[in-house]
Amino acid sequence: MIEENEISDDQRYEGDSDPQDSDTSFTEYEISASPNDFNIRTLYDFINSGIVKIPGFQRNYVWDIKRASKLIESLLIGIPIPQIFLYEQAKNNFLVIDGQQRYFTIYFFKNKRFPKKEKRFELRRIFEDSKGIPESILADNDYFVDFNLALPEQLPDKKNRFNKRNYATLDEEDRIAFDLRTIRNIIIKQNTPDDGDSVVFEIFNRLNSGGVNLKPQEIRTSLYHSKFYDMLYRINLDENWRKLTPQGTPDLNMKDVEILLRGFAMLVDHENYKPSLTKFLNNFSAKARKYSDQEIDYFEKLFVKFADTAVRIDPKLFFTKAGRFNITIYEAIFVVLTEGGYSAKSLSIKTTIMEKVRKLKEDNEFVAASQSNTTSSANVILRINKAAEIL
């Protein structure tokens, strides 16, 4: 039996960015990169003090306890581990741009607790809201298990003395040595161009090109974290929205968050849209950092009302006959049903009937614009205009 989280995005979604959207533009950067060797105690203090941030947990913590235990063992026996890349946003304000899994493994080991897989989405929100994980949550067995090292019991010539140990049960000498073990951190700062922090997106892509690539939204989450993004995380858990999507729980790679972002970006700026979609969503994410609390609250209420309207029409409103969630259908319907309210800054949502939605899904021009060159300016505008005409 295939588990829900083992189904790929390609099997759940269609109408996504096609290969022609890939951004091949080239930007030259002037950056400074300085190596710093911080010991583990210092790195742990950085997280607790908020000096080093991992907004939205980036791509969530995904390591299992065996892999995490191997990292801790390497540190205990003095084997070097890969360096960590930090991006300097401001004085005493750094983002982890590569090394988040290592950073959090150390954080969890020092706290003697390891997060349960099914609770990691919720822990992400708790971490952001509380600027760390409160003691009461760390002690809660609904969220964590004890971080006892899961290592091979027997080494070739002797018993593994670290197996089943945790930070508290290490010999004092080993614990002190662990705390003083250093890890190379490369601190990067963008000097030019003066366009925000665009180099971080480029570094993410290049650092991960040799392994499992981070998805664009996973990168965006770290680079453009804001109160607007906190709102996206909240509405991504909305009960009606989850009924409208392919899965009952949030997507590990944040595909559903990207769909929400894309809807708002098109609602606000579709008249100014031009490829690439990646750059368009990056620019909107940067712009959204400046939204006031009142504006964010309005967007949240508008979406909640839209999701309620959509689920009443049909929970499969955005699905094709093949059973996949079609992103272009969602995007067009979201913009058309909310733009009147948005223009008037009201919570007025247009409604429609399933018969008209069926007609839209079967319209030859709309279908063609949803299947090929989907992120071209012409096809984006065509889909929205066609949806307005039919719905």
pLDDT in tens, 186-204: 998 888 777 666 677 677 6
- Helical spans, DSSP H, in the chain: 9-12, 40-49, 65-77, 100-110, 120-130, 135-138, 172-180, 198-207, 216-223, 227-235, 239-244, 255-269, 277-288, 293-313, 327-344, 354-362, 364-371, 377-390
Q: Is the pTM of this model over 0.85?
A: no
Q: Whole-angstrom Cα distance, residue 314 to residue 357? A: 10
pLDDT band, very low/low/confident/very high, at 224 (cuts 50, 70, 90): confident
Residue 134, both tokens: 């409160």
Give the model confidence (pLDDT) of 311-326 as tens digits: 999 999 999 988 999 9
Helix (H) or strand (E) holding 3: none
The DSSP line for 176-207 is HHHHH-EEEEEEEEEEES-SSSHHHHHHHHHH
- What contacts 353, CB < 8 A, 6 or more positions away? 313
Using an 8 Å Cβ cutoff, are 309 and 302 in contact? Answer: no
Q: Whole-angstrom Cα distance, residue 84 to residue 56? A: 18
- Percent of the chain scored above 90 by pLDDT? 60
Using an 8 Å Cβ cutoff, are 377 and 385 in contact? Answer: no
The DSSP line for 76-133 is HHT-----EEEEEEETTEEEEEE-HHHHHHHHHHHTTEEE-GGGHHHHHHHHHHHTS-
Which of 382, 307, 315 minimizes the C-alpha distance to 354? 315
Residue 182, both tokens: 């250093």
User: What order of strands is seen across the sheet that includes strand 84-90?
Assistant: 30-39, 182-192, 84-90, 93-98, 52-53
Kindly report the average pLDDT of the chain as a whole number: 87
Burial environment of residue 20 by CB neighbours within 10 A (0 to 12, 13 to 18, 19 or more): middle
Tell me if residue 61 falls in helix, strand or coil: coil
pLDDT band, very low/low/confident/very high, at 90 (cuts 50, 70, 90): confident
Higher pLDDT, 96 or 114: 114
